[in-house]
Structure 1
Amino acid sequence: MTAETGKPAAVPAFGDAVLDARLVVDRGAFRLDLPLTIGPGEVVALLGPNGAGKTTALRALAGLLPLTAGHLRLAGRHLDHPDRRVWIPAEQRGIGVVFQDYLLFPHLNALDNVAFGPRRQGLSRHRARQRAARWLTRVGLAEHARRKPRQLSGGQAQRVALARALAVEPALLLLDEPLAALDARTRLDTRAQLQHHLGGHTGATLLVTHDPIDAVVLADRLVVIEDGHLVQEGDVATVIDQPRTDFVARLVGLNLHRGHADGHRVRVTDGFHLVVGDRHTGDVFVAFTPSTVALHPRRPDGGTHNTWPATVTGIQRHGDHLRVQLAGPVAVTADITPAAAARLTPRPGQTLWATVDAAGTRVYPATPTPRAEA
């Protein structure tokens, strides 16, 4: 936003990307090697299990960790390029960050917290406060300008942190689990407000989150990393519809198995096949929802396809249903109703019979896993 008009400032881009990077960072035995581009106005969610490299990527972008190799270019300007001996410190990068615990200055009120960044950019105290006041109005906190962080609720502190990050008119906005510290009700309201404010940001936004709902609601595109490498990326609908790793499948609540298809049969393990609804040939993924898995106390009659003995390994409440983890020729998760639970009385170690209707399966080619170029 410009200080004079309050309208979104134009953000220069390299080609079609505001951010163009290949983040290579070595930390002991761990290596992050992640290609990453984000376009103007685009929100990208970075997902992955613990230890995947999300925080390392965030710190490298923010200027808190130098790259080992690769490059980081923002709005056409190199910020980190080891081969060229270029490294721009964090305070000179034009990047706004909202940390998980917000990190507001406890001795400053909301107005001066937001004005801090513009002051560091060289604005006078008066102009920095003017800009901060406009941002507090935009996030609905004008009446809280004189309050210290300890006098704010969690949702209000999150909005002050967002205003502080956006007040520096960043080419890149980094959001590190921005809703994780909020209770469920506040999180719902704040997520909607955050979605609105991100819609007005003309720069690039990277959202690091463990919450699939945050990713689906806020992001235009998902980037998934495991063990420091890119394993899947794409628009939200495609990633949800066609997960390619166990992590993504668990994230979106699907059973996922890789196998070799020959017509309507997919060999997923030695000696075990799944019958599927669509014909395919070659390596494929087979996905199906937990609600597709039916459980029986005894082997069902009638020679039903996709029937196997399964051992209960865990039970959890999942909304109005019970989610049952099962081991066997293939490990699956099943959702059962309270009525089915009363009939089956599942318990760890119990053996049940699992069935999956072929019509409930989704099959798609298993393309090679994407990796960063050497």
Structure 2
Amino acid sequence: MTTPPPTPAAGSPLLDAHLVVTRGDFRLDLPLTIGPGEVVALLGPNGAGKTTALRTLAGLLPLSAGQLTLDGRDLDHPERRIWTPPERRSVGVVFQDYLLFPHLTALDNIAFGPRRQGLNRQRARQRAADWLARMGLAEYARHKPRQLSGGQAQRVALARALAVEPALLLLDEPLAALDAGTRLDTRAQLQRHLAAHTGATLLVTHDPLDALVLADRLVIIEHGCVVQEGSAATITAQPRTDYVARLVGLNLYRGHASGHHVRLGDGFRLTAGDPHDGDVFVAFPPSAVALHPRQPDGSPRNTWPATITGVQRHGDNLRIQLTGPIEVAADVTPSAAAQLALTPGQPVWAAVKAAETRAYPAAPV
């Protein structure tokens, strides 16, 4: 008689993993826990290890060390010589390009997983029909993938992943293939379906908006390691690397504070609104940076000469990239840019009021 795996205790994570994968010169070392009903977003620049983590969780890549436990069951534990193939894992995956079976209808795409789990054809198709109805796609049951729009295909792929009632749902850039208009509606629908999912969900994405809207918690990795983890509010308020700062739209600098004065590594000094002593980060949004044709007088405590290196549209404003004593991004209105005749190579003065900066402690390096 086979003993069932232990059920995780109340309050314990559904996914409890330490993913260690070595591939050539790259090493992923990622502790990761996700609770029942929790959505965690995994973010990071290209090459950070996001895809490696997803493939490892799905069973497409074995661990080099560490362990992977899902719903109380060890799926991958190299030291104990345990490895579970993908088809025996309670994992559903929505791939970036959806990878629907082109020769099957939407109904049969969704029924495929339940059939593999042992349901007969009638029961599997009934479950698939139920999921199509939940997705608002009942009338598309007989459509093949080529007959579906991008948003419809995404919902069929999500239904196919959820129809197997997975303990872990993996979403690999699930909205990246959609145009801007479709993406907005589909994101709202995805948010609703994830809220109803009782299992653990890992969302792998490059898009900070997807992460902020859909996830309960963010895990950010660089070079295979976690650099920051927490709620969206915590990470947005106190980014701890340049990548995270760019992700949340802030200029970020590290230095040593004495009261309100922060000396950066290259000797440049900033005056911050918050007094500290010791190693700190100083952050401020691009909207806090004012540009002037000559050195300004008056209230700004931080002014410095800069040179424009780039001008790009950013929403309703223009994002101005500046070099000088520090690299900085500034947001200005199109009318202000026209008045200043801002172009690459032009010298300007940048100014930031101390009250618009935020300083917070940094761990010593």
> TM-score w.r.t. structure 2 length?
0.96
How many angstroms apart in 2 are the aligned matches of 1:76 and 1:271? 53
Q: Which amino acid aligns with 2:83?
A: W
Q: Secondary structure at the match of 1:32?
A: strand
Structure 1 position 301, deviation (Å): 2.7
1:111 to 94, 101, 107: 107
Partner Cα separation in structure 1 for residue 267 and residue 337 of structure 2 = 30
Question: Aligned with 1:182: secondary structure?
Answer: coil
1:203 matched to 2:199? The reply is yes
Partner residue, 1:61: 57
Distance in 1 separating the partners of 2:232 and 2:47: 23
> In 1, are the aligned partners of 2:279 and 2:364 still within 8 Å (CA)?
no
Q: Which runs of 5+ in 2 are unaligned?
A: 1-5
**Matched residues, number:** 359
- In the TM superposition, what is the alpha-carbon distance from 1:346 to its structure 2 partner? 1.5
Among 237, 240, 249, the residue aligned to 1:241: 237
Aligned to 2:273: 277
Check conservation: 1:173, 1:205, Cα contact below 8 A: yes
Give the Cα separation in 2 of the matches to 1:135 and 1:304: 58
2:291 partner amino acid: L
Partner of 2:97: 101
Matches within 5 A, 1:149-228: 149-228=145-224
Paired letter, 1:39: G
Counterpart-to-counterpart distance in 2, 1:123 and 1:231: 43
**What letter matches 1:13 in structure 2?**
P
User: Which amino acid in the other structure matches residue 183 of structure 1?
Assistant: D
Would you say the 8 A contact 2:299–2:353 is kept in 1?
A: no
Q: Contact 1:269–1:329 at 8 Å: present in 2 too? A: no
1:335 pairs with 2:331: yes
- Measure the CA separation in 2 of the matches of 1:302 and 1:253: 27
**What amino acid maps onto 1:201 in structure 2?**
H
Give 1:52's match in structure 2, choosing from 48, 54, 60. Answer: 48
Q: How much has 1:304 moved relative to structure 2? A: 4.3
Quick one: distance in 1 between partners of 2:362 and 2:56? 32
Q: How does 1:283-322 map to 2 (within 5 A)?
A: 283-302=279-298, 304-322=300-318
Q: Measure how far apart 1:368 and its partner are.
A: 6.1
Is 2:20 aligned against 1:13?
no
* Counterpart amino acid of residue 27 in structure 2: R
* CA deviation profile, 1:111-146 (whole Å, cap 9, x unmatched): 100000011111111111111111111111111111
Distance of 2:169 and 2:364 partners within structure 1:
31
Q: Which moved more, 1:15-24 or 1:268-277?
A: 268-277
User: 2:118 matched to which residue of 1?
Assistant: 122
Indicate if the aligned counterparts of 1:100 and 1:176 stay in contact, CA closer than 8 A: yes
Aligned-residue RMSD, C-alpha = 1.3
Letter of the 2:243 counterpart:
F
Given that 1:13 and 1:40 are in contact with CA atoms closer than 8 Å, whether structure 2 keeps it comes out as no
1:259 matched to 2:255? The reply is: yes
Q: 79, 82, 89: which one pairs with 2:85?
A: 89
Assess if the C-alpha contact under 8 Å between 2:170 and 2:203 holds in 1.
Answer: yes
User: Structure 1 pair 280/104, CA: closer, same or farther in 2 (3 Å)?
Assistant: same
Judge conservation of contact 1:315–1:324 (CA < 8 Å) in 2. Answer: yes
* Map of 2:71 onto structure 1: 75
1:328 and 1:152 map into 2 onto residues whose CA distance is: 51
TM-score normalised to structure 1 length: 0.94
> Which of 339, 342, 347 is matched with 1:346 structurally?
342
Quick one: which amino acid aligns to residue 32 of structure 2? L
Amino acid at match of 2:124: A
Q: Structure 1, unaligned stretches of length 5 or more?
A: 1-10, 370-374
CA distance in structure 1 between the aligned counterparts of 2:268 and 2:298, rounded to whole angstroms: 19
Task: Write the distance in 2 (CA, Å) between the matches of 1:39 and 1:236.
Answer: 17
Please give the secondary structure, in 1, of the residue aligned with 2:160: helix
Match of 1:360 among 350, 356, 362: 356
Q: Any conservation in 2 of the 1:312–1:326 contact (CA below 8 Å)? A: yes
Moved more, 270-279 or 42-51: 270-279
Write the distance in 2 (CA, Å) between the matches of 1:164 and 1:137: 13
| 1:230 equivalent in structure 2 | 226
C-alpha distance in 2 between matches for 1:302 and 1:234: 39
